[in-house]
Amino acid sequence: MRARPDRALSLTGLPKSGAIIWGNLSGPTVTVFSDFTCGYCRALSGVLTELNVRVVERPISILGSRALSERVYCAKDPARALRRAYAGDTLEPANCDTSGLDANEKFAAANGIAGTPVIVRSDGAMIEGYRPKDALAAWLKGAR
């Protein structure tokens, strides 16, 4: 599938909180709106690891997974907890300020994001849904 050229998404206004940053911290950046119970999101995380990019993952609870999002987000090591969540591991409850997750969900609703994953390039171009490695690599190269 191709990205719709008319579909761009400005991430301006999203707070830094709400993001879980992982991957190659000096690599090209991609933002992903995801749900930890989404199989396509799990598959995408593997592809993004292979592509060696910096991922700004923004959990949203499309599939009723808010409690899991909070456990990942509030973990001592959210990037590790994210990998464990995608692996289906049980995570211990943790408490923290979850207003960043609220901001992700509010932003998603305001911008018509009703499914996951949604992938946003550094230039604001976005695609919805999983893409295999080669297709995603080609799309990412289109960033200005």
Structure tokens at 38: 């989404």
Pairing of strands 54-59, 126-128: unpaired
Q: Specify the pLDDT at position 64.
A: 84
Full domain range(s) for residue 133: 20-141
The answer to whether residue 51 is domain-embedded is yes
Among residues 25, 120, 20, 116, the alpha carbon closest in space to that of 63 is found at: 116
The answer to whether residue 11 is domain-embedded is no
Is residue 10 helix, strand or coil? coil
Structure tokens at 98: 């979850």
Q: What is the DSSP letter of 112?
A: T
What is the domain count for the chain? 1
**pLDDT tens per residue across all 144 residues of the chain:** 444 445 899 999 899 999 999 999 999 999 999 999 999 999 999 999 999 999 999 999 988 889 999 999 999 999 999 999 999 999 999 999 999 999 999 999 999 999 999 999 999 999 999 999 999 999 999 865
- CA 47, CA 49: separation in Å to the nearest integer? 5
Q: What is the DSSP letter of 122?
A: T
The answer to whether residue 3 is domain-embedded is no
CATH number, residue 96: 3.40.30.10
Q: Specify the pLDDT at position 143.
A: 66
The answer to whether residue 7 is domain-embedded is no
The answer to whether residue 40 is domain-embedded is yes
Strand arrangement of the beta sheet that strand 118-121 belongs to: 20-23, 54-59, 29-34, 118-121, 126-128
DSSP per-residue letters across 81-114: HHHHHHTT----------HHHHHHHHHHHHTT--
- CA 88, CA 136: separation in Å to the nearest integer? 25
The answer to whether residue 14 is domain-embedded is no
The answer to whether residue 2 is domain-embedded is no
Pairing of strands 20-23, 118-121: unpaired
The answer to whether residue 102 is domain-embedded is yes
**pTM for this prediction:** 0.92
The residue type at 7: R
